[in-house]
Amino acid sequence: PASISTKRAMAIGTAGYTSMLCVMALEKHGIKPASGEILVTGAAGGVGSVAVAILAKLGYAVVAATGRPQEGAYLSALGAKTIMDRKELVEAPDRPLLSERFAGLVDTVSGVMFAKALAQVKYNGAAAVCGLAAGPSFPGSILPFILRNITVCGIDSVMLPNAPREAAWRRLGTDQPLDKLDSMMSEAGLSDLMAMAPKILKGEIRGRVVVDVNK
């Protein structure tokens, strides 16, 4: 969209585009701001940061789950209403169903966190699943699906046809708060990437990194 500069388009990148697809999937399922809280896992990462900012701008009450409590102020500035320590998900009781809390879920992590988060999604809720930072396995139960009528929306950002891809970018042009995008963006040169790579793999990089290929 014309409203997004080249630099900001790179800051959005595949991660931000994926975030918008997640939001659109929840909307398609009928999840509205009045439906209740939306949980975003891995909230300080690339997909999570953009998802928090978009959902907050659209009026949703966002619960941002992160294993980095020092990022609480950052996530609050993006619009999160509540900051959740990921321990609350990883160390939650090992039961297939927990108390209903979240109307929807944007999951970038998978694994145990997704299973524990799914167990807290409300009846007729939905989960947009787009990442596997904790691995591809899902140690969960079928019960949330059949007892609470929960829908899991798989989000693919690679093979999606052009029409929904373009729709997502149009939405990014209006629903991504650009000031929040700028606040989550940092810059690096090509020469910096080898040193940054281990930090990225460990989940130690916040938000989005734009690479200046001339450096």
Instruction: Render pLDDT for 69-88 as a digit per residue (tens, 0 to 9).
Output: 899 999 999 999 999 999 99
The torsion angles phi and psi of 43, rounded to 5 degrees, stand at: -65, -25
The torsion angles phi and psi of 9, rounded to 5 degrees, stand at: -60, -40
Asked if pLDDT for residue 201 goes beyond 90, the answer is: no
Q: Is 208 helix (H, G, I), strand (E, B) or coil?
A: strand
CA distance 116 to 157: 25
**pLDDT-based confidence at residue 204 (cuts at 50, 70, 90):** confident
CA distance 7 to 81: 28
- Which whole number is the average pLDDT over 185-198? 93
pTM: 0.93
pLDDT over 70 percentage in the chain: 100
* CA separation, residue 25 to residues 87, 91, 127, 153, 157 (Å): 27, 28, 9, 7, 13
CA distance 54 to 58: 6
- Which whole number is the average pLDDT over 113-123? 97
Asked if pLDDT for residue 215 goes beyond 90, the answer is: no
| Average pLDDT of every residue of the chain | 95
Asked if pLDDT for residue 148 goes beyond 90, the answer is: yes
Asked if pLDDT for residue 96 goes beyond 90, the answer is: yes
Asked if pLDDT for residue 202 goes beyond 90, the answer is: no
> Strand (E) positions, the chain?
37-40, 62-66, 82-85, 102-107, 121-129, 151-154, 185-189, 208-212
Q: Is 151 helix (H, G, I), strand (E, B) or coil?
A: strand
pLDDT over 90 percentage in the chain: 88
pLDDT in the model for residue 106: 98
The answer to whether the beta carbons of residues 119 and 51 sit under 8 Å apart is no
Asked if pLDDT for residue 40 goes beyond 90, the answer is: yes
